[in-house]
Structure 1
Amino acid sequence: MKKLILSAAIVLGSLSMQAGNTIVINSVPQSVNVQDEYKEIDAVPAAIKTALDNAYPGVKLEKAYVNEKKEYKIEITVRGEKSTVYTDASGNILKK
């Protein structure tokens, strides 16, 4: 009887030793955001100023940038809250 219990323990022990650690390699895709380079400018076209005044009463222009596609990135302050607005040369708001 002792031999039966001992051999059962050995068999069960050897089965549990067969299970090994599996290594899982997570592959994370690397992505690069391509953003058009914006260059800081001193003055924005009058159409943009008018559009911003109409859209945001009491707006204050902090900084303005332009890229090669003539898209403008405007940093504004409205009632003490800072935000960034993207427009085209005609003053159409592209993204708030």
Structure 2
Amino acid sequence: MKKLILSAAIVLGSLSVNAAILPAIAISQSVLIQDEFTEVAADAVPAAVKSTVEKSFPKTKLEKAYKNEKNEYKLEISNGDKKYTIFTDASGNIIKK
């Protein structure tokens, strides 16, 4: 009986020692994907995109327009002191990024 209790104590003791020795390692990884946009003139923005901006964001002014290889537009608009950045495709559909 003494051997059984002694062996149980040794087994439980060794399990708790092994659990305490394992180091905790935290690994983090981040990926930043950014499409390259080049600035274009406001006249180069398609009429469908301009129409979407006028309907969705009334009383705003188009400050700058950018275009990438996928024919997506990054538009910087302003309404008084507030400035916004929106993304659309060539058809005028708003893209969430």
TM tier, smaller: 0.5 to 0.7
Structure 1 length-normalised TM: 0.67
Seq. identity, %:
53
Indicate the SS of the match to 1:31: coil
Report the Cα offset of residue 36 of structure 1: 1.0
Task: Decide whether the 8 Å contact of 1:85 with 1:93 is kept in 2.
Answer: yes
Task: Decide whether the 8 Å contact of 1:75 with 1:84 is kept in 2.
Answer: yes
| Displacement over 3 Å in runs of 4+ | 24-28
Structure 2 length-normalised TM: 0.66
Question: Which residue number corresponds to residue 39 of structure 1?
Answer: 38
Counterparts of 1:1-96 in structure 2 under 5 Å? 26-43=25-42, 44-95=45-96
Number of residue-to-residue matches in the alignment: 76
Aligned mates of 1:93, 1:78 — CA distance in 2 = 18
Indicate the SS of the match to 2:50: helix
Aligned mates of 2:93, 2:76 — CA distance in 1 = 15
Report the Cα offset of residue 78 of structure 1: 2.0
Greater gyration radius: 1
Indicate the SS of the match to 1:32: coil
Indicate the SS of the match to 1:47: helix
Q: Which has the higher helix share?
A: 2
Aligned mates of 1:70, 1:76 — CA distance in 2 = 19
Task: Decide whether the 8 Å contact of 1:58 with 1:79 is kept in 2.
Answer: no
